[in-house]
Amino acid sequence: MKSIVAIGAMLLASTSAIAAIHTVEAGPDAQERLQTALIEAEPGDTVQIGAGRFELTDGLSLDVDNVSVRGAGPDESILDFTNQVGSGEGLMVTSDDVVLHGFAIENTRGDGIKSKEANRIVYDNLRVEWTNGPDASNGAYGIYPVESTHVLVQNSRVIGASDAGIYVGQSQQIVVRHNMVTHNVAGIEIENSFFADVYENMATENTGGILVFDLPNLPQMGGHSVRVFNNLIQDNNTDNFAPEGNIVAGVPAGTGVMVMANRNVHVFENVIQDHGTSNVMLVAYTEEFDDPNYEPTIRDVVVRDNVQGRAGYAPDFEGGEQLAAAVGGTLPPVLWDGIGDNIIVNDQVPVLSLGLTSAGQALSEAQPSMAEIASEETPDAPEAVVLPASMEAALQ
């Protein structure tokens, strides 16, 4: 018995020598104590955030590989940026193999949590919230990984982002699952990214539920290979509260899924309902651009086996009402601008094509008609994204 205790003590000692836990409790000087822990952590260490509210004035940052930042839970450990006076985000991560788990970020002036060039990052069981609800003065992105390979965002809630709740940009090998995004302009946005699986999320009461976009003049373009499946995408009718000038400020309220300027996007087996404008919108990028390497149209897009409910009863774009009146009072649940190659919709719901022929063409030139773009032969969806085992293991 004694020897077991001794061995246990030895194990504990050796573990602590390898991986330390830096515990930070709420209270005075939280800014400096928390930031110091994030700087002094060594690879393998955990920064443990205690329960309580941490009043912070400046962004925090982590730049050490293989560190876990863990809180007591998304409603227990709250990093409160209501009085933030510096930095563009609440928490910034710039190192690899980081796990963020079990805490909340509230009321940042800019983005909530950003990670850049942070490969194999895990966002798990977090909450990012602007507590006053939809407001143009809220920060832009809640959870914001960018320029990274292997990204996992799961079990998290984002509420009130004035751009996108969960925004993955210029990345590849992405999994976004089991999240709840509400009252954001865009619930989940996958932008200029390759190989993304977005599944089993709940996107409700945003302006647009789930967006898959590609934009010009960026280091990584040509977004492709995205699967959006098994999500509940419902009642995304919140008035667009994005500051004007943002690209999402152009998303009509009442949009379920929107695919723009992407290739090989498959939207399947979702429940998509109660959207004033459209359950699914398939469009080209419409703004002028000066970038020879950018492709503004959609290609190889498949929409199939979704359960689609009511849609098109309150179209939120110019000419929408007249268009609805012309096709019988409400718009069909799927709206396609008519541009792009190999677009298939097998949902057994009507599809309205605007009959445009080139990206950027004025809506006044639309020649709307019902489109028959179902197909018995549907191409295979992109392969499932497989994350490194280390990422799943880090959650154990």
Q: In whole angstroms, how close is the CB of 351 to other proteins at the nearest point?
A: 29
* Bridge-based pairing state of the strands 351-353 and 369-371: antiparallel
Q: Is 170 in the site for other proteins (CB under 8 A)?
A: yes
Instruction: Indicate the residue among 20 and 327 with the shorter CB distance to other proteins.
Output: 20
Q: Is 106 in the site for other proteins (CB under 8 A)?
A: no
- Among 25, 35, 52, 309, interactor with other proteins by CB under 8 A: 35
Return all residues near 74 (Cβ < 8 A) that are at least 6 apart: 102, 103, 104, 125, 126, 127, 156, 157
Q: Is 28 in the site for other proteins (CB under 8 A)?
A: no
Q: In whole angstroms, how close is the CB of 39 to other proteins at the nearest point?
A: 5
Residue 44: other Cβ atoms inside 10 A: 15
Q: In whole angstroms, how close is the CB of 383 to other proteins at the nearest point?
A: 26
- Among 20, 21, 36, 271, interactor with other proteins by CB under 8 A: 36
Q: Which stretch binds other proteins (CB under 8 A): 18-26, 78-86, 149-157, 223-231?
A: 78-86
Take residue 346 and report the two structure tokens written for it.
């097998």
Q: How far is CA 143 from CA 9, 110, 115, in A?
A: 40, 11, 8
Binding to other proteins in span 81-100, by CB under 8 A: 84-88, 92, 94
Taking CB under 8 A as the rule, which mask of x and - marks residues 192-231 in contact with other proteins? -----------------------x-xxx------------
Q: Is 146 in the site for other proteins (CB under 8 A)?
A: yes
Q: Which stretch binds other proteins (CB under 8 A): 41-49, 241-249, 333-341, 377-385?
A: 241-249
Q: Is 111 in the site for other proteins (CB under 8 A)?
A: yes
363-372 contact pairs (CB < 8 A, 24+) = 363/317, 363/318, 363/319, 364/319, 366/319, 366/323, 366/338, 367/338, 368/323, 368/326, 368/327, 370/327, 370/332, 371/336, 371/338, 371/345
Q: How far is CA 354 from CA 200, 267, 333, 372, in A?
A: 31, 20, 13, 13
- Among 169, 208, 254, 296, interactor with other proteins by CB under 8 A: 169
Residue closest to 31 by CA, chosen among 86, 74, 99: 86
How many angstroms separate the CA atoms of 160 and 242, rounded? 10
- Among 28, 244, 293, 389, interactor with other proteins by CB under 8 A: 244
Interface with other proteins (CB under 8 A): 31-33, 35-36, 38-40, 57-59, 61-63, 84-88, 92, 94, 108-111, 116-117, 136-137, 139-141, 144, 146-147, 162-163, 167, 169-170, 215, 217-219, 243-247, 287, 290-291
